[in-house]
Chains A and B, each alone.
Chain A
Amino acid sequence: MTGATFVFALASGLAIVFALLMVVQKAPVKSVLALVVTFFGLAVLSVQLAAPFIAAIQIIVYAGAILVLFLFVIMLLNLTEEAREKDTRPIQRWLGLVSAVALAGLLLGVTLRAPPAPVLRPGDGPRIPAGDEIPLLGRLLFSDYLFAFEAMSVLLLAAAVGALILSKRRME
């Protein structure tokens, strides 16, 4: 087993196991922590896919900011375990589980089947360079994707303002 295969197996195993743990956990705090480990595994996979910048951004933004925000909200609202009451819709839960598994099987069957050769065309965007791709990404952001970049900044501003207003206590 080569090094790349070993790293892939380790990272994807970690990601899948902790994703399962996240879904199974009753306490929200431990769910968030399990998801952090999943994101680490995904970041390692991104590095293997020649996207180290995305891996760094994933850790900094997703694991380091968004999930910390989750943790803050959970701790400030003091949400401990999920309530121990009886589940009012057990059949719906079972249906949900079965449909998720069925969807997984369906998607796996579709994506893993080898398509006929003409379907896969070379991308018409800029190629992944052999060395450092970060300057190229920066150039792309400000040329081809400039509109999306500016729209994103407006979106983030709107989200920040919206979050502030939504969580304000009403002054009566």
Chain B
Amino acid sequence: MSPELFDVLAAAGKIAFFWAVVLVAYLPNVVWAERRIAGLIQDRPGPNRVGPFGLFQSLADVPKMFLKEDVTPLFVDKLLHTVAPTIILVPALTTIAIVPFGSSLTIAGREIPLVIADVNIGFLYLLALTSISVYGIVIGAWASNNKYSLLGGLRASAQVISYELSMGLAAIGVFVSAGSFRPVAIVEWQAAHVWNCVPQALGCIIFIVSAFAETNRIPFDLAEAESELVGGYHTEFSAFKFGMFFMSEYANMFAAAAMIVTLYFGGWSLPFLAVTGNAGGLLSIAVFLAKVFVWVFVFIWVRWTLPRFRYDQLMALGWKVLLPLSVLNLLVVAWVVARGPGAP
């Protein structure tokens, strides 16, 4: 088998693995998990009728979402109305292309690094995709031909852009200490030294808060604000298109959790265990998925615990608190790296 064909097959296998994990295993079940955990926190049962423990609830919800009538309001731009949910879903699903989900597997004598695309711009690709997902919100808001949706969409996109800044600056601290943009290098640095959440705790907190704001989760979900704006920028979308908006929020949550785990919590590595060979590779995949699911649980937990920020409080937090703190974090990290051992 030629090397190129092998690489193509390996890449296809990794992509298929991710589609299987995210689309088939994760997306239906995270909705169920959210509703059950909401029930636990609010001292009520949650869905428990459909199947044991309500596990088949998504199996009932997803066909409902596909089969409902697709209502397009009268004076909207049809093309934009159809395209908007796609623009917000595609970056959410392609973000995981650069995330290393394991160390490496050796098949047929060739080593396959467990990352779909190890580009040297690494996390800049992620920031680029986050910038693109803003368009989905803005176009969805505009295409609804509805001033409340437009306002909700503009607020949401302003929020996303503002928190992108502090997210990027906090992440730069990690790039400076690891010396590279590539997530593979960052995870290897953490495997060799210490998880980044310990020396860069401030950056970690800033990144996590910004990730909450980026994914529009409570306490930052004023854009959809189910109890206030009806649906915000996705009010006028029904059936399949609403399903795509809905799914994109959970896919974004997965991507954000994967980013947090890769940057600050060691990716696929365990601090005390170093198993080599294929067993190590499979173990690292399991460790990575476990960490990501822990963080998804934290996302859900925070949602049903905290109240929602008002919009001016949200913007003040992003610009007046997080941005100066992330610059301070970067200064401290850069100073330590420049003075420390191994400095140029």
A contacts B directly in the complex (CB < 8 Å)?
yes
Q: Which residues of B contact A65 (CB under 8 A)?
A: 131, 161
A:40-69 near B, CB below 8 Å: 52-53, 55-57, 59-60, 63-65, 68
Nearest A residue to B141, CB-CB: A75
B:140-188 near A, CB below 8 Å: 142, 150, 154, 157, 161, 179-181
Are A64's CB and B121's CB within 8 A? no
Q: Is B10 an interface residue (CB 8 A)?
A: no
Are B119's CB and A64's CB within 8 A? no
B:97-128 near A, CB below 8 Å: 119-121, 124-125, 127-128
A:97-118 near B, CB below 8 Å: none
Are B150's CB and A36's CB within 8 A? no
Are A56's CB and B135's CB within 8 A? no
Are A68's CB and B121's CB within 8 A? no
Chain B interfacial residues counted at CB < 8 A: 24
Known: A52-B119, A59-B131. A68 touches B138 (CB 8 A): yes
Q: Is A149 an interface residue (CB 8 A)?
A: no
Known: A52-B119, A71-B138. A64 touches B125 (CB 8 A): no
CB distance from B124 to the nearest CB of A (A): 4
Known: A59-B131, A60-B127, A68-B138. A134 touches B161 (CB 8 A): no
Contact with A along B12-54 (1 / 0, CB 8 A): 0000000000000000000000000000000000000000000
Are A64's CB and B154's CB within 8 A? no
The chain A residues found within 8 Å of chain B, CB to CB, are 29-30, 33, 36, 52-53, 55-57, 59-60, 63-65, 68, 71-72, 75-76, 131-135
Are B128's CB and A53's CB within 8 A? no
Q: Which residues of B contact A76 (CB under 8 A)?
A: 154
Are A75's CB and B142's CB within 8 A? yes
Q: How far is the CA of A52 from the CA of B179 in the complex (A)?
A: 18
Nearest B residue to A54, CB-CB: B121
The one of B131, B150, B154 that contacts A60, using a Cβ cutoff of 8 Å: B131
Q: Is B132 an interface residue (CB 8 A)?
A: yes
Q: Which 3 A-B pairs have the closest CB atoms?
A: A64-B131, A56-B124, A59-B128
Are A134's CB and B132's CB within 8 A? no
Q: Which residues of A contact B131 (CB under 8 A)?
A: 59-60, 63-65, 68
Are A33's CB and B120's CB within 8 A? no
CB distance from B48 to the nearest CB of A (A): 43
Query: In the complex, which of the residues B77, B130, B132 has the most CB atoms of chain A within 10 Å of its own CB atom?
Result: B132
Q: How far is the CA of A120 from the CA of B138 in the complex (A)?
A: 47
Q: 9 A-B residue contacts at CB 8 Å?
A: A53-B124, A56-B124, A56-B128, A59-B132, A60-B124, A60-B128, A63-B132, A134-B121, A134-B181
Q: How far is the CA of A65 from the CA of B180 in the complex (A)?
A: 24
Q: Is B257 an interface residue (CB 8 A)?
A: no
Q: How far is the CA of A72 from the CA of B150 in the complex (A)?
A: 11
Q: Is B139 an interface residue (CB 8 A)?
A: yes
Nearest A residue to B153, CB-CB: A75
CB distance from B88 to the nearest CB of A (A): 14
CB distance from B41 to the nearest CB of A (A): 36
Nearest A residue to B129, CB-CB: A59
CB distance from B83 to the nearest CB of A (A): 9
Q: Which residues of B contact A131 (CB under 8 A)?
A: 120
CB distance from B138 to the nearest CB of A (A): 6
Q: Is B134 an interface residue (CB 8 A)?
A: yes
Q: How far is the CA of A68 from the CA of B142 in the complex (A)?
A: 13
Q: How far is the CA of A57 from the CA of B313 in the complex (A)?
A: 30
The one of B124, B128, B154, B181 that contacts A72, using a Cβ cutoff of 8 Å: B154
CB distance from B275 to the nearest CB of A (A): 29
Known: A33-B139, A75-B142, A75-B154. A64 touches B120 (CB 8 A): no
